[in-house]
A and B are shown apart, each in its own frame.
Chain A
């Protein structure tokens, strides 16, 4: 019998502690142990990007990490974008206004990919946006409105910081 192991992790600024099986994926830990179901699970082998979250501010695939590996680390999920559920983050606002989603399954992963991307590159070209999105699959939109939404988000975030 394999022993459960203790995980202490900070997610969106809040500390959590659980005992889990070592084989539990971080994506499943977030959804089933912490009830943070905003992080979606698609392919579970690192291809689709739906489960993208931030580890120390950098995007990673949460399906390619075990929950026990996150012990002592700081994570940000899509729930961490905004504290007030009535008020959208400028990135979310842009995706809403530009129709950057249809079914929405891929959206959380895309937001968590684009947030650090726009921090590093606040005024990206369309080619750079498309490259940044290449690790996130969307099967509804054909990407055009997602690209538009990222451009709009860059404008909003630019206005915010100026």
Chain B
């Protein structure tokens, strides 16, 4: 339960960190909040040669408005910030609905946005939020940068588009259309534990109250954040009646997600639970869309 010998360096600029990452390749590992990486080191499931600590890189900790009216979030922003940041409350409420569900305050005080997104745990909240909000990630290396959509970033179980010499440095959230409501609902055996099931729902209504866009993304439902695109599409054109919501939930949880059994629950139970949570999330998102506040 102690880390294997490892070297450590704490550069104070991103350029320096990326140069070190390029130099060490797969033997180098970026250390952000450490709330997932340090347990892996303690268990010796990860044994990098050198840790490149990003905690001294100050200019990766921010929440800003973008020119399009969306929000950009620096990778080293602590998860605790997501709970209360006024810009996120206004522009991306799904983010601060989900944030208090991430582990405990002790974890969120250290854990970072970029760290959780890059760790790509399919049971984690933030990757689901990012996919649901159609976020884009800025991946930077010593050689340059590229943008990747969140939905393309997650390629398999804890596996992402990130190359060995790249760092996820920024998350950009597009603005939400008017009359859009969001809800993040999950069930965990104890607050802060990994959720048995959870879903992010986003709905947009037109002026007549008819659904013009919908999104459903699940955690603990497969190897990556799982999007139920067809179920969400079935809601478009409806007034989000109880019947249409129930039908969409049933379709999403039987045909579009792939939960697997674990010690807490069978796959069948998780599908049932996901259906119940989907109905709750869609009803809450609809109420918020009607109420005007996301």
Contact = CB atoms under 8 A, between A and B. Distances in A.
A66 B38 contact: yes
B6 A2 contact: yes
Given A44-B1, A61-B107, A135-B192, A2 B7 contact: yes
A5 B106 CA distance: 26
Interface stretch (A51-59, A75-83, A147-155): A51-59
B7 A65 contact: no
Interface in B40-68: 41-43, 51, 53, 55
Contact of A113 (B8, B35, B39, B106): B106
B103 interface: yes
A21 B5 CA distance: 8
B104 A135 contact: yes
Interface in A29-81: 44-46, 49, 52, 55, 58-61, 63-66, 68-69, 71
B51 A22 contact: yes
A23 interface: yes
B146 interface: no
B77 to A, nearest CB: 15
Interface residue tally on B, bucketed by range: 20 to 34
B35 A64 contact: yes
B224 to A, nearest CB: 23
Contact of A135 (B51, B53, B105): B105
Given A5-B8, A60-B109, A135-B192, A46 B39 contact: yes
A157 interface: no
A107 to B, nearest CB: 16
A123 interface: no
Contact of B2 (A23, A64, A71): A23
B119 interface: no
B294 to A, nearest CB: 24
Contacts of B55: 69
B110 interface: yes
A134 interface: yes
Nearest to B107: A46
B51 A55 contact: no
Given A23-B2, A23-B3, A25-B42, A65 B8 contact: no
Contacts of B8: 5, 22, 66, 68
A103 interface: no
A21 B3 CA distance: 11
A23 B103 CA distance: 24
Contact of A134 (B51, B80, B191): B191
Contacts of B38: 25, 45-46, 63-66
B80 to A, nearest CB: 8
A60 B107 CA distance: 6
Residue from the set A60, A68, A71, A113 with the largest chain B CB neighbour count within 10 Å: A60
15 contacts: A2-B5, A5-B8, A23-B4, A44-B2, A45-B1, A49-B104, A49-B106, A52-B106, A55-B109, A61-B106, A64-B34, A64-B38, A64-B110, A66-B3, A135-B103
List 3 tightest A-B contacts by C-beta distance, closest first: A135-B104, A22-B8, A45-B39
